[in-house]
Chain A
Amino acid sequence: MKILVVDDEHDIQVLFEQRFRKEIKAGTVTFVFAFSGEEALEYLNKWEHEAVLILSDINMPGMSGLQLLENVKKKYLKPPPVVMMVTAYGDAENHRIAKELGADDFLTKPVDFAILKEKLKLSRG
């Protein structure tokens, strides 16, 4: 399974690679990282349907996670990939908008990787 992680924080790459080191080693999951909404769209345009799941932060300079979600769900890819949004704790407004725009699932920051792994197994199964 290929997952595209979108976040403007560069350390997110190290974190994911460590958190999923066993899964990556076993080859059950591969990660691609984009550090802005624009970069994510570029990747998706180039490698259409490569990523099965997009995990995106919302607050990013330039294109926000919500705009990326809108683009992915409405304009670009058919059928669209599963999109999971990372929202800040208690941010009900973003949660609501993301849901309206067609987000498939949500994670709150700070990210609980146990829950994320659980969700990934579910979405795989």
Chain B
Amino acid sequence: MIRKLIDTFLPGTAENKGHDLRSERIFISVLLISALADLLGISLAIQLQLTVIGYLLVSNAIINLALLVLYKYGVPKNLVAHAFLLQHAISFGVQAWYQGGLITPATAAYFLLPAVTILILGKRSAIVWFVITALMITGFYLYEVRYGTPTVHYPVDKKAYLFYGSVLSTNISIFILLLVYENSKNKALRLAEKRHHDLVITQTQLIQAEKMASLGELTAGIAHEIQNPLNFVNNFSEVNSELIDELNEEIGKGNLDAARVLAKSILENEKKIVHHGKRADGIVKGMLQHSRSSTGVKEPTDINVLADEYLRLAYHGLRAKDKSFNAIMKTEFDDTIGLVHVVPQDLGRVILNLITNAFYAVTEKKNSTGPAYEPTVTVSTQKVNDTVEIRVRDNGNGIPINIRDKIFQPFFTTKPTGHGTGLGLSMSYDIITKVHEGELTVESKSGEGSEFIIQLPC
């Protein structure tokens, strides 16, 4: 019910602001509590025959409610709040004057003003109102030092009753105010906790999405890629059945030389079938490896084969998305590397990510420059002393110097919203440095391109 009463005074514009209306509700509560306190004070004023204060409190309550209505109909909160505080500063002053100056409950009530200001307007305004009230209290003190105590306007025998009533109502007011503040603070904390929890979940989902996104890009390319080996497997098999028929014919004719030639062809075709069958197998395995979560197990891996496989996958993945795209792929493989102990799925993911980025970079440059530009992505491997280097080079626009140290940070991306998760390079960095105890560095020249260097111990 109280919540409903509070919400009737919410400004019409507030609902569209998209936050939880916490500060708006606190503000309305403060004004309502103060109006209530004014009304309660009226009975006290009547009993003490303080007619002027009685009228003052009635008008206070009315002004309070009027301010609430103004607030509801769009007058800015700042303006309403300062009017409210000013009204009370005057009211407390007048009450103190009538009650007998400095040593009265009304001057003591001044401390309410900066306290309330902190709740409804924040620190800066509270400092202002702290200074104002301090000056007013000091004013009363100086006045009394110089001119003596102002005339007391109520029956002195009721002094105890006045102090009792005033202090108690101030006590109640401040208690309720703090109660309102505490409740809404707890609510806000719970909300913040929930938001943080949601954010952590979203992050986990994003990391999974990053994996699935790069997989999705690949699937189309892989479907394309798998047609080539299948074409050979199907057709060489059919050719072989024809050749076997011919072979039988020749044998029937006793033509052994021709039969030998045919048998040789069949054998060669058979080799091609096996080769392309294995190739298709490799493509499917590569896809599965990429989608599976990593085993984290290091195994002896041919880095050149791995890099070549992912270069082709990245290329066809991109082509499947953008048909007009074309780039020169170059490989410079060092055949002396041998097998290196790595987690193939993880390293493959890194290579794929670097190559996809490189293709993205050259596409961007191609779109902004003329047909004279030849987009080129080079993947090279090299054994240097005790490390194996894998370099992915592009001749794109390069990485601007001011973002070069940010590119490995999680969620940093230069791609338009929805086109990149900003996790690719940061995941790559973790895989190389944490899983493989290697290094991932970048060299880049504006306008000439970038080169990412993976260094793995072997």
Task: Encode contact with B along A90-102: 1 for CB under 8 Å, 0 otherwise.
Answer: 0101100100000
The contact of A113 among B223, B235, B276, by CB within 8 Å, is B235
Residues in B with CB closer than 8 Å to A64 are 319, 323, 326
Binds B, one of A10-18, A26-34, A48-56, A76-84: A10-18
What is the CA–CA distance of A88 and B268 in the complex, to the nearest angstrom?
Answer: 26
| Pairs of residues from A and B, 9 with the lowest C-beta to C-beta distance, nearest first | A110-B231, A109-B227, A110-B234, A18-B239, A88-B227, A88-B224, A110-B230, A109-B231, A61-B329
Residues in A with CB closer than 8 Å to B272 are 11, 14
Known A14-B272, A15-B239; further 10 A-B contacts with Cβ < 8 A: A9-B228, A14-B268, A18-B265, A59-B316, A61-B315, A64-B319, A64-B323, A66-B323, A97-B323, A109-B228
What is the CA–CA distance of A56 and B189 in the complex, to the nearest angstrom?
Answer: 66
Q: List 21 interface pairs A-B (beta carbons < 8 Å), by A numbering.
A: A9-B228, A11-B272, A14-B268, A14-B272, A15-B231, A15-B232, A15-B235, A18-B236, A18-B239, A18-B269, A61-B315, A62-B326, A62-B328, A88-B224, A88-B227, A109-B227, A109-B230, A109-B231, A110-B227, A111-B231, A111-B235
Select the residue from B223, B228, B231, B232 with max chain A CB neighbours within 10 A. Answer: B231
The contact of A89 among B227, B235, B238, by CB within 8 Å, is B227
Residues in A with CB closer than 8 Å to B230 are 109-110
Please give the distance in Å from A46's CB to the nearest CB on chain B: 23
B236–A15 CB distance below 8 A = yes
What is the CA–CA distance of A19 and B268 in the complex, to the nearest angstrom?
Answer: 14
Residues in B with CB closer than 8 Å to A109 are 227-228, 230-231
Tell me whether A3 is interfacial, beta carbon within 8 Å.
Answer: no
Closest B-chain residue to A108, C-beta based?
A: B227
Residues in A with CB closer than 8 Å to B269 are 14, 18
Tell me whether A71 is interfacial, beta carbon within 8 Å.
Answer: no
Tell me whether A63 is interfacial, beta carbon within 8 Å.
Answer: yes
B328–A61 CB distance below 8 A = yes
Please give the distance in Å from A119's CB to the nearest CB on chain B: 16
B235–A110 CB distance below 8 A = yes
Residues in B with CB closer than 8 Å to A19 are 235, 239
Closest B-chain residue to A94, C-beta based?
A: B323
Residues from 101 to 125 in A contacting B, C-beta threshold 8 Å? 109-111, 113
Residues in B with CB closer than 8 Å to A18 are 236, 239, 243, 265, 269
Task: Encode contact with A along B207-251: 1 for CB under 8 Å, 0 otherwise.
Answer: 000000000000000011001101111111011000100000000
What is the CA–CA distance of A64 and B325 in the complex, to the nearest angstrom?
Answer: 9
Residues in A with CB closer than 8 Å to B227 are 88-89, 109-110
Residues in A with CB closer than 8 Å to B326 are 61-64, 67
Please give the distance in Å from A16's CB to the nearest CB on chain B: 9
What is the CA–CA distance of A14 and B268 in the complex, to the nearest angstrom?
Answer: 10
Residues in B with CB closer than 8 Å to A89 are 227
Instruction: State whether A59 and B224 are in contact (beta carbons under 8 Å apart), knowing that A93-B323, A94-B323, A113-B238 are contacts in the complex.
Output: yes
What is the CA–CA distance of A93 and B272 in the complex, to the nearest angstrom?
Answer: 31
Please give the distance in Å from B218's CB to the nearest CB on chain A: 14
Residues in A with CB closer than 8 Å to B319 are 59, 64
Please give the distance in Å from A96's CB to the nearest CB on chain B: 10
What is the CA–CA distance of A93 and B323 in the complex, to the nearest angstrom?
Answer: 9
Residues in A with CB closer than 8 Å to B316 are 59
Residues in B with CB closer than 8 Å to A14 are 268-269, 272
Closest B-chain residue to A93, C-beta based?
A: B323
What is the CA–CA distance of A66 and B71 in the complex, to the nearest angstrom?
Answer: 67
A91–B232 CB distance below 8 A = no
What is the CA–CA distance of A63 and B327 in the complex, to the nearest angstrom?
Answer: 8
Select the residue from A11, A19, A93 with max chain B CB neighbours within 10 A. Answer: A11
What is the CA–CA distance of A120 and B326 in the complex, to the nearest angstrom?
Answer: 30
Residues in B with CB closer than 8 Å to A15 are 231-232, 235-236, 239
What is the CA–CA distance of A67 and B326 in the complex, to the nearest angstrom?
Answer: 10
Please give the distance in Å from A57's CB to the nearest CB on chain B: 8
Select the residue from A64, A110, A111 with max chain B CB neighbours within 10 A. Answer: A110
What is the CA–CA distance of A109 and B231 in the complex, to the nearest angstrom?
Answer: 6
Please give the distance in Å from B135's CB to the nearest CB on chain A: 78
Residues in B with CB closer than 8 Å to A97 are 323
The contact of A88 among B223, B232, B315, by CB within 8 Å, is B223
Please give the distance in Å from B219's CB to the nearest CB on chain A: 13
